[in-house]
Structure 1
Amino acid sequence: MPQPTVVLVHGAFADAASFAPVVSELLSSGVTVRVPAVPNRSLIGDAEYIASVVRAIDGPVLLVGHSYGGAVITVAGAEENVVGLVYLAGYALEEGESLAELQGRFPDSPLATALVQTPYPGGVDITVDVERFPSIFAADVDPEVAKVLAVGQRPLAYAAFGEAAPAAAWKTRPSWGVVSSSDTTINPDVERFGYERAGAAVTEIDSSHLVMLAHPKEVADVIRTALAAVG
């Protein structure tokens, strides 16, 4: 089987550029990478979009999802050519479960008090308070970079929190999970619980939520381990 293409799926409050250091690591290893922009409008809609990206790739795909992107790959990973899933500080949902339901099993993180709701035509966007973004989302990222990220967040539609996942691809695909053990965006126990339930191979990194920016080499190593296992 040819080496899988790695598709990196960003989450809420970040964008495709958040994977830049990991992309550099993978490209230097000769890995084929795609980093689509996720609409962040609805879990089902976003998963359908990523599934369309996956279907357009000729050959096997390894899906990597950060944060909310973990929920997206949980659903989109049901595509036939997906051979594995890698979660980065992410949500590994059960079929029929929503983000709100999984988070509700555990105490809130500091993010809960820093969310900002902004109406838009047809819904409400959720972002992180700009002043609190660096400490909550990117505590171990260069402070100047964190300030830039804070003012350029990609919002998540509020409706996405309540949508139930129609599939859980980890039931039929091998999975790997990175726990950000110093995460103050998602309670690390939410990550651990989802990964254990999925039977994922788990790596813990002492990191903020933006583990791919703070620890790109370690994240790339996890992805390369997954590639070796499925390829």
Structure 2
Amino acid sequence: MTTTTPTVLLVHGAFADAASWSGVIAELQGYGIPVIAPPNPLRGLAADSAYVASVAAQIDGPVVLVGHSYGGALITVAGVTENVVGLVYVAAYALEEGESLGELQGRFPLSPLASNLKQWTYPVEDGDPAVEVTIAADAFPSVFAADVPADVTKVLAVAQRPLAAAAFEETAAAAAWKTKPSWALVAGADEAINPEVERFGAKRAGATVVEIEGASHAVAVSQPKEVADLIRDAVRATS
């Protein structure tokens, strides 16, 4: 094994941006762990995974990929990059090769997220406008961040990054957890992803699992130390 401390690459999910990792970043920096949190384009599973993989490949030394929510699907694919040594799923989707988000979710009762999505359109080259989705602003606090202070969720609700609707149907080109060790944090009170989806994916991946009772989907915002501690476990195990 290498003696170099892996760099942690944090991949945010839909309806959020890299600032959602701020508390976790501060904790990791306090531990002396190198960290980077690039923007996730949120335009589709293949394109977004390729972007994450390209960022990882340009980092000198080993990398631990951390994905929140939809970001978990991206690290599942991007994790096959040679210098990636571990995967950490935070309230996230851990897909199987050839599986889509829609397929994985479809095996379990839908979360309240499904009935609270608002559709928008955006221009694409040479075609009709494509559809993207956000969480209805009035539902955002309860669905996404029930354990985050109300004044914070009001801001997060209007600063959402939309996800291309097509991302739900694209299938994963690889499942890096088959060859790389993985860790998973299950948010026990998640209203955006059914916690059963998180548990199922983590178990199938053979991940080391931590479950936080009462945690919302925005667990990285509400409980950054717990999230950072799991990431630190992964860094120590892969150093």
TM-score (norm 2): 0.96
Give the equivalent residue in structure 2 for 1:191.
198
1:27 deviation in Å?
0.3
2:217 paired with 1:215: no
Q: How many residues align?
A: 231
The correspondence for 1:174, drawn from 178, 181, 187, is 181
Aligned letter for 1:217? Answer: K
Rounded to whole Å, the distance in 2 between the matches of 1:135 and 1:158 is: 22
Q: What do residues 155-208 of structure 1 show as CA deviations (whole Å, max 9, x unaligned)?
A: 000000000000000000000000000000000000000000000000001200
Q: What do residues 145-164 of structure 1 show as CA deviations (whole Å, max 9, x unaligned)?
A: 11100000000000000000
Give the equivalent residue in structure 2 for 1:73.
75
Rounded to whole Å, the distance in 2 between the matches of 1:69 and 1:219 is: 15
2:165 paired with 1:158: yes
Rounded to whole Å, the distance in 1 between the matches of 2:233 and 2:216 is: 22
CA root-mean-square deviation? 0.5
1:35 deviation in Å?
0.2
Q: How does 1:133-148 map to 2 (within 5 A)?
A: 133-148=140-155
1:119 deviation in Å?
1.2
The correspondence for 1:11, drawn from 10, 13, 16, is 13
Rounded to whole Å, the distance in 2 between the matches of 1:136 and 1:57 is: 35
Rounded to whole Å, the distance in 2 between the matches of 1:73 and 1:175 is: 11
1:141 deviation in Å?
0.6
Gaps of at least 5 residues in structure 2 are 125-129
Give the equivalent residue in structure 1 for 2:45.
43
1:149 alignment partner, SS class: helix
Give the equivalent residue in structure 1 for 2:127.
none
Give the equivalent residue in structure 2 for 1:117.
119
Rounded to whole Å, the distance in 2 between the matches of 1:33 and 1:225 is: 15
2:106 paired with 1:104: yes
1:31 alignment partner, SS class: coil
Aligned letter for 1:229? Answer: A
1:59 deviation in Å?
0.2
What's the % identity of the aligned pairs? Answer: 63
